[in-house]
Amino acid sequence: MNDETPIRTEASTPLPGSGAATPMMEQFIEIKAANPDSLLFYRMGDFYELFFEDAEIASRALGIVLTKRGKHQGLDIPMCGVPIHAADDYLQKLIGLGHRVAVCEQIEDPAEAKKRGSKSVVKRDVVRLVTPGTITEDKLLAPAESNFLMALGRVKGGSETRGGERVSATGSQASYALAWIELSTGIFRVAETSADNLLADIFRIDPRELILPEPVFYDAELKPVLDLVGRVANPQPPSLFDSASAPGRIARFFEVATPDSFGTFSRAELSAISGVIAYVEKTQKAERPPLSRPEREQSGSTLFIDPATRANLELLRTTSGARDGSLLKAIDRTVTGAGARLLADRLMSPLTDPKAIVRRLDSVAFFLPERQLAEALRACLKGVSDMPRALTRLALNRGGPRDLGALRSGFEAAMALRTLFADVETPAEICEALEAISALPVGFADHLTGALDDDLPLLKRDGGFVRAGYNSELDEMRALRDESRRVIAGMERDLSEETGIRSLKIRHNNVLGYYIEVTANHQAIMNGTDEAKARFIHRQTMASAMRFTTTELAEMETRIANAADRALAIELAAFDTLVAEAVAQAETIRAGAAALAALDVSAALAVLATSENWCRPVVDDSLAFEIVGGRHPVVEQALRAAGENAFVANDCDLSPEGGAKAGAIWLLTGPNMGGKSTFLRQNALIAILAQMGSFVPAASAHIGVVDRLFSRVGASDDLARGRSTFMVEMVETAAILNQAGARALVILDEIGRGTATFDGLSIAWAAVEYLHEKNRCRAIFATHFHEMTALAEKLPRLSNVTMRVKEWEGDVVFLHEVGKGAADRSYGVQVARLAGLPDAVVQRAKDVLHQLEAGETSGKADRLVDDLPLFSAVVRKETPPAPAKVDVVGAALAVLNLDEMTPRQAMEELYRLKELAARG
């Protein structure tokens, strides 16, 4: 890549000062009118130029200079531009800010335009729309993150799936579906959803762009959902989502007679599939990415986690948006980008089928005793480039030699793995992965190895990527091109000897090409005879030199120039052949790449389990939830990194007892800073890890499959929507109580704390009773309302547990241990002191708390004011320091010389010390 700033060519000609638009500006306005929702990158020579409002937006977003170029309708035309060689960097910034960019290229040779007249404009057209969900450039994509484009389809009076069965939806009732693709890797999935689950499913996939029909976008009923989705939502014409024409559109895209072989889809699913395909065709123009066929995701096959729970548990990112501190960051030990993306996908969509979960756990367990094999596998995979993304760029004509090299490195790793796993008995998931790897096209792999050089350039136009010996004509042309200096030097030597001019030189420039140069005093020799005049053709006269050429030199120049062009043409033809072979076998290559990613994830989770001392969970169809020695995976690693004390492990048992058909509820009390929130979250995370197919941070774990996970931990507000912290808490609690079933796991923390004491206690009390009697789910309910512990006598599946603490000389020590029983205090004043509140405030709080607990004020504020001195008096009062307590026993012990005492003397001293202690 050339870092020099190229010179603007066409853009350097100013527009006339009149108000009339030039032909070039007319062309820009016409193309811009066809792409009103995108910033137009208008190709002019070596720059992409932006004009009018586009230029103003881009200059602010990119921090580049805004200039002007002539006038239009009497006003200056704002203008800015970016060099083509650095366009990816600017695109990355614009896409990151949510902009869409239309890339307008010159589709005609300028020489052809001149044939139509000197003022003719080079033909241009938009060759691609760059949007957040359709980028494929390696520089614009994070290797470990998927970049999903999602489409929402809605059909009124269609069909939907309920309880695993397809039923008709009548009247105005609407059915919904989502289709999502990863354009850079070819993933294509579709699933039905509902209005209630829509937001949760969108957050589960976490798309970079969500396209939906304009009527749906402006539907008032969906406004709360789309407000939370934010600028990711992108309304499109409803014609893109027409379910009636969808089968035809799908068949044309995949070049099949009918899409029936893909499976049976509902009208809503067809609408979503049609929308995403139509948008791909719209943005990619003439190019067709190698998408896999739509794969239907069965309803209920993944663990339902609502958006609030995902945010609370910090699965992919922390609440501040950082990846450091998230669960994914704590568990990621993968060595490939594809493996990291697959791990994130599994984490966001844990399974609910015990058999499928056990298959994944078997593949992880396989590598635990096979440490050498696991390390050898990871060593092979470390050198593998991102095959799926390279394949997509090649198919879209955006790839280069290094993308072919990425395929080659993947094939080489696959061949090494086949040797590595030869004669090794493996579990089902690994066996299937090895079969997919074995199916990779060996012939094409050999072709790549034989055709590609070891050192590959970034761009195909640079040439030099085909291996020597692959093509004999190419070798011949390269020899002529590369040995031109030697050939020209020989001609120069021969001419110098023939003419006797020692200073004769053969030089080259871009205007004259190759020429012979002699000093002015030797021109007589060159022009002395008729024979010399006929041979040496005059080209240029300089002040101190003369320049000539000869027929032989001109012919040699032509041969040299043609050799370079011919060599590049041969290389480009070889590139096109290799790309065509790759695209023709895209499905097989993609399946092999997915197998490599699956092996990477299994080996990485085995490494994680070994290094962190995690155990294999038992996952089945029961309602069990028994965790022994459970730990929080993120907090434990953070404590270790900080060199602090080891994490305190805790048990949790929410399994049904005595033949009950519903899970237990733990009512958790204890002080702030005691570890309640950590304990709540760790059990939710253990469930997610187990069902994604990972070992878990515990001594042992038995988990009956959880179908819905709800977590209400922490406080937040939503001021933009007029919701206080308490209102947000109530909305989220309502969603939990309305949706949780017998297989759900519910984690609730401090329900009712945002309102008056008795109001909050009443809400929390009623919520626990509802969880017990109606939802009948497994749950942990943390609270500071100690009065609620009385519910254990009324509700048979409710147990009281508490975070243990110790008091020592007025201080509180948090043990971070969970044990049976109930706390009778919250130790809030002690926590306030630890936080650094002024001593006067802490002392005043203790006095108020003492009288409140003693009931002396009957809870009345006016009585409290009368019974206690004013706070100002407490502050002014000089409290004398308490006299130091003399430790008589300690002083007596300090003077004893134990080494010189006989046993009898020691016994006498012991009695004496006991007497001293009794006297105080």
Other Cβ atoms closer than 10 A to 25: 19
Is 670 annotated to bind a ligand? Reply is yes
DSSP string, 537-589: EEEEE-SSEEEEE-HHHHHHHHHHHHHHHHHHHHHHHHHHHHHHHHHHTHHHH
CA distance 640 to 635: 9
Q: Please, how many CA atoms are within 13 Å of residue 54, restricted to the half-sphere of its CB?
A: 25
CA distance 834 to 831: 5
Strand order across the beta sheet in which 811-820 lies = 304-305, 708-712, 745-749, 778-782, 665-669, 798-808, 811-820
C-alpha closest to that of 721 among 225, 306, 314: 225
Which segments of 212-353 does DSSP mark as H helices, in order? 214-217, 223-229, 246-254, 267-284, 307-313, 327-331, 337-348
Is 675 annotated to bind a ligand? Reply is yes
Is 469 annotated to bind a ligand? Reply is no
- Beta pairing, strands 811-820 & 798-808: antiparallel
CA distance 53 to 51: 6
DSSP string, 360-405: HHHHHHHHTT-HHHHHHHHHHHHT---HHHHHHHHHTT---HHHHH
Structure letter (DSSP) for residue 291: P
Is 788 annotated to bind a ligand? Reply is no
CA distance 797 to 778: 10
Q: Which two tokens stand for residue 198?
A: 């829509």
Length of the chain in residues, anyone? 920
Is 677 annotated to bind a ligand? Reply is yes
Phi and psi at residue 292, to the nearest 5° = -75, 165
C-alpha closest to that of 277 among 323, 197, 269: 269
C-alpha closest to that of 70 among 22, 14, 5, 122: 14
Is 672 annotated to bind a ligand? Reply is yes
Q: Which two tokens stand for residue 759?
A: 């109001």
Phi and psi at residue 360, to the nearest 5° = -65, -40
In contact, 363 and 430? CB cutoff 8 Å: yes
DSSP bridge partners of 80: 50
Crossing angle for the helix pair 676-692 and 337-348, to the nearest 10 degrees: 110
DSSP bridge partners of 42: 49, 104
Any residues with CB less than 8 A from the CB of 911 and at least 6 apart, and which? Answer: none
CA of residue 142 relative to chain centroid, distance: 7
Binding residues for ATP: 670-677
Binding residues: 670-677
